[in-house]
Amino acid sequence: MGATFLFQARLCLYGLSQSSGIIHLGKMCVRTMCTKGIKPGERKSPPRKNDTTIRQTESFKVRQMPSFPTSVFAAGNAKRTTEMLKRKTALCLVCPDGLVAPDRPLSPTEWKKQLEEAPCSPERFDVHMMTLLFKTGAELDIAKSLLTFVALETGTMSYQLLLQYLTLCVKGGHDAEALDCYQIMRGAFPALETGASSLFIKAFSRTESWREALPILRDMKKVIAPSTRNYSDIISGALLHGAAAPAWQLYDEVLGEGLTPLPDTWRALFEGGARGERLLGVLGYMRDNQVYPERNLADAIKTWFHSLPGHHWRGEWTTVSPKGVCKGCGSELESIQLTPEEYTHLEARVMADIIQGKDVFQKTTAEELESFKAFVKRKPVFDVVVDGLNVANIVKGRQSEMLLAVVCELERQGLTSLVLGRKHMLRPSASWDRRNMGLIQKKAHCFFTENTSEDDPFLLYATLHSGNHCRFLSRDLMRDHKACLPDALTRRLFFKWQRGHQLVIHGTVAQGRRVGFQMISPYDTIVQSTGVSWHVPYDDSVDRSSYEVPQSWLCLTNKP
Ligand SMILES: [Zn+2]
């Protein structure tokens, strides 16, 4: 940005006192000045000697539609559904106070006229107008002309007005003005609240004075836990100015606080280069926490690998075949199936933290859960556990018919199924036809819980108890349950198990037609390495919801 002539209200801060968040100015001098705008440990995947043993459970196969891209876990599905629903709702945006932002700087006389004609209270005019200038992306000069007017007119400036002005400066990348504002506010107010502190941290971090952001962060910690954005701003600032040590120190602080670093932080670290072991540790963190970088972060990762001296890393953007083979290097990706050790670990944690967890008994009695366990013990091992109410509700008005169609399909495939339902489903009604419910109970094992019970724990118990081959049929995404698990590793295993075991009905089910199931991906979508290769699934769109997995991959191979 080149030099810009700015009409700036400069505050000469003598005779200044402060009360109730207002600066009283003993003297204000206004001058024209020229301001130069300132721009703002390697984790190897287990060896896959003979993956076929764990890749596909051989005891049964559920008939699946060749429809992987439309899997409930595929990126974009949730967003598309939400947008479709939004289109059905008319949105109405109303400007609350009727103010209109000028398109050029105004003289004090012109501002005076605006004030007199404003539809809002004269006392709030300055703050409302400054907020509007920010929201409409107005030029900085217009905001400055408003400040000048307020200073001349009243000799005071409220904290709120300066905060709005500061927001406009920082969001617009006017760091020099933001730092001027820091001097003013710091001198006028005994303390800054979080909003102003965050803005100053951002502004300082973009300049050579980035170290000034450190004491602001320190002061902030006395009142509130700083956000990952605050940390990210300073880490980026430090790395931009070649200070790797304080950057990594702050990064460790983020992890120590149990916070998830922002993608911007990781990008700054990879772009900052060096410290290879630490960066491989970042990739390990992404693996453990199912982090999928966005394209610009994946770009930084690729560039970093290319820059490693003495290696011959080559990266390419690619996809993976439905069978889990990388189309870039031809290697097989990790299986979605859990190893026996992983399965045992997950089963124990789910039983302890979800099934026996405190939350469950708020909606389910211990007696009911015990009677269910005894029921499961008496029955043969299940191949599929059906969330009966959830599945039936796919077709409103003929629920029992839908559930019967599913049960018939599972029976046709020779599978032993358990239908979990609620007791009210046994009361004949238009939705719950007596004959259909009778047939369901003949074709599948059934357990009906109290109407108020939460049935997910029953579903998880029966599925996990039946063994690694057993799958469950539900549209529920189990996010609350995943959150109950105590550590990142167990949560990762739960998500992996869920994606490898959850059946979802494919498309709509027309009356009298067979039910199809979406294909379950045979490979795990997670950052993975074999030592001579890295595969990083990344987001190439903004449409992915948190429980979905990306479809694009960065394939990195080290070939001499
Ligand atoms: Zn590859």
pLDDT digits (tens, 9 = 90+) for 157-192: 899 999 999 999 999 999 999 999 999 999 888 889
Whole-angstrom distance, CA of residue 29 vs CA of residue 17? 17
Across 232-253, average pLDDT:
96
Is residue 45 scored above 90 in pLDDT? no
pLDDT of residue 104: 94
Which part of the chain is CATH 1.25.40?
A: 3-39+100-272
Query: What is the amino acid identity at position 49?
Result: K
542 C-alpha to ligand 1 centroid (Å): 24
Q: With CA atoms as reference, report the closest residue to 462 among 523, 412, 416, 408.
A: 416
* Residue the block writes with tokens 């000028």: 102
User: 463 CA to middle of ligand 1, Å?
Assistant: 34
Query: Which is it for the CA torsion 121, 127, 132, 135, positive or negative?
Result: negative
pLDDT of res. 91: 30
Quote the ligand 1 centre to 289 CA distance (angstroms): 21
Q: Where are the CATH 3.40.50.11980 domain residues in the chain? A: 338-518
- Indicate the angle between helix axes 175-188 and 194-205, nearest 10 degrees: 140
Cα 255 to averaged position of ligand 1 atoms, centre (Å): 30
CA atoms in the 13 A half-sphere facing the CB of 470: 22
**What pLDDT is stored for residue 37 in this prediction?**
30
pLDDT tens digits along 401-433: 999 999 999 999 999 999 999 999 999 999 999
- Whole-number pLDDT of residue 2: 31
> Among 87-91, 95-99, 114-118, 211-215, whose mean pLDDT is lowest?
87-91
Q: How far apart are CA 251 and CA 261, in angstroms?
A: 8
Q: How far is the CA of 530 from the centre of ligand 1 (A)?
A: 11
Q: How far apart are CA 422 and CA 448, in angstroms?
A: 5
Strand pairing partners for 74?
549
Parallel, antiparallel or unpaired: strands 471-473 and 502-503: parallel
Residues 76-95: tens digit of each pLDDT: 655 655 555 444 432 322 34
Fold of 3-39+100-272: 1.25.40
DSSP 3-state of 388: helix
- Residue 477 Cα to ligand 1 midpoint, Å, equals 30
How far does residue 415's CA lie from ligand 1's centre (Å)? 36
Q: Ligand 1: distance of its center to the CA of 131 in Å?
A: 50
Smallest CA-to-CA distance from 26 within 155, 149, 152, 151 is with 155
Ligand 1 midpoint to CA 536 (Å): 9
**Cα–ligand 1 centroid distance for 262 (angstroms):** 26
Rounded Cα gap, residues 41 and 474, in angstroms: 38
456 CA to middle of ligand 1, Å? 37
Three-state DSSP at 46 gives coil
* Residue 155 per-residue DSSP state: S
Instruction: Tell me: pLDDT of 342 over 80.
Output: yes
CA of residue 329 to ligand 1 center, whole Å: 4
- 478 token code pair: 């189990």
In tens, the pLDDT along 487-521 reads: 888 888 998 999 899 998 887 777 777 888 888 88
Lowest pLDDT segment from 92-101, 192-201, 403-412:
92-101
Distance of CA 165 to the CA centre of its chain: 30
Q: Around Cβ 41, how many Cβ atoms within 10 Å?
A: 8
pTM for the model stands at 0.71
470: pLDDT strictly greater than 80: yes
The rounded distance, in Å, linking the Cα atoms of 381 and 208 is 66
> For residue 535, how far is its CA from the centre of ligand 1 (angstroms)?
6
What is the CATH architecture of 338-518?
3-Layer(aba) Sandwich (3.40)
* 24-53 mean pLDDT: 33
Ranking 114-128, 129-143, 186-200 by mean pLDDT, the lowest is: 114-128
Gap from CA of 347 to ligand 1 centroid (Å): 32
Percentage of residues in the chain having pLDDT higher than 70: 80
How many A from CA of 322 to the centre of ligand 1? 14
d(CA 500, CA 342): 13
Q: What is the DSSP string of 99-127?
A: ----SS---HHHHHHHHHH-SS-GGGHHH
Q: Between 276-288 and 488-501, two packed helices, what is the crossing angle to 10 degrees? A: 50
Cα–ligand 1 centroid distance for 527 (angstroms)? 12
* pLDDT above 80 (res 118): yes
> Shortest CA distance to 536 belongs to which of 287, 304, 365?
287
Q: How far apart are CA 387 and CA 369, in angstroms?
A: 16
Collapsing DSSP to helix, strand or coil, 316 comes out as: strand
Question: Ligand 1 centroid vs 263 CA: distance in angstroms?
Answer: 23
Dist. CA 314 → ligand 1 center (Å): 10
551 CA distance to ligand 1 centroid (A)? 14
What is the CA(330)–ligand 1 centre distance, in A?
A: 6
Residue 555 Cα to ligand 1 midpoint, Å, equals: 4
